[in-house]
Structure 1
């Protein structure tokens, strides 16, 4: 495949988008950011900004002319909009599409059946179909929960309360990656299009257990942390599935529980068994590196 130079970033203002944008610019790509009408987000002068309508394939196709790759970091409410983006990318002869995966292994049979990932799976199928026809190529990046962000928002541990939930005892390693490293992995994929063509790649900065994170957090903060043992299957997934059976299920009661299940549940694909770190230029963290992340996020 010829070199990729022109890259569209859809979702540049989200949790992950800025980190990917930073690494794309550092690597010398010409980046075009897609924004919605009325957006007030500002970007570096070297970035081309185009206003698009994600509900219009025509709008997206016009904006994608001359682009080599699309990196989508669209958030959950817009996951399904990626189907239009895929169709438009094919019509505009885009070479590579990186969908908004960047999380759990949604190709895992158990994970793919969780309702919260239905839109991601639909996009995977659409891309696989187009790739089989030779219309486009794709790469899914799976990185587990965002390590630094996950700590800040309390998904991995609760810094304010100095507590950590030990899912299934907290002894299972889980793959996790910082925002910066995910950005570097995106660059790695785009610089090695042949090696990453039409497949999933798996990355991690570390695969700690929750018990080990608790010990490192106590070392970094100099304080004792509480650890509560919770059953993923009984205390997390079962209530989420029950909520989904209701006529109008509350997303607050099944979205995060489903994500927790995909990270710490038995048989959902974490920790990743085969990594693409070396291919994409990533080195795994030492305990000192993990402690540095904890020090920066548990203040």
Structure 2
């Protein structure tokens, strides 16, 4: 190909890419308040004052003020891939001070109940794994890694290698939420009470006991809607998981790679297969969304200016 044509094509490529890479939409340092989908978003949207809406790749981003703090309210989209993509997107387009996730989850720890709000200290991706082949001697994975949680049948955790500008690459099985934000969450949770009832669709939903707030432990994520009692027991035993969802570990990983503080609040809408008869997410996702939003708003109020 002649050199002139190569230069022209390169220039066209650079011109096409530049607006996507360089366009900053807002320079005010803000806290990202992230949700995954509609009910979680709706529990917070009405409280944002001075809203200014943006749409990027079809996803809504709203800047404004929430509980005295400059925020960006957004949806990550459901799934780890969507969550990773939109987390990097908001970091590239806005001036982000920290990320605070508010959402629902499935309960894994048998000590927890629907409606409880959990703030894990770390997050793992339980399907970053090798699928082993079956041999006469048992399951044989293609490789093994020191420190990995034990396998579930043919699924052998392999962790994720992550680097950032300030840290050398290393393999993680769980990645930490920001310790300072977790410490603040403990202080906020100590003085809070949650309602056991919420109005939803013209009906009043009530739980048999008042929900509790628990800070600490491990959460896990994967691109799976998990509703299996046996696998739930495995996650609790092998990963010491308290809750599971489909986005949080990806958000924590992208925040870590960008050296941005992040924390996740999750309220239980179901028990991930531990429910007595059927999954309860459709029944309690509104209540769980409201409970998580309630704690997140108290957390935002407590954040330093």
| TM-score bucket of the superposed structures, by smaller chain | 0.3 to 0.5
Greater RCO (Cα-Cα under 8 Å, separation 6 or more):
2
Provide the TM-score with structure 2 as the length reference: 0.34
More helix by share: 1
* TM-score in terms of structure 1 length: 0.35
Structure (1 or 2) with the larger CA radius of gyration: 2
Flag the structure with higher strand content: 2
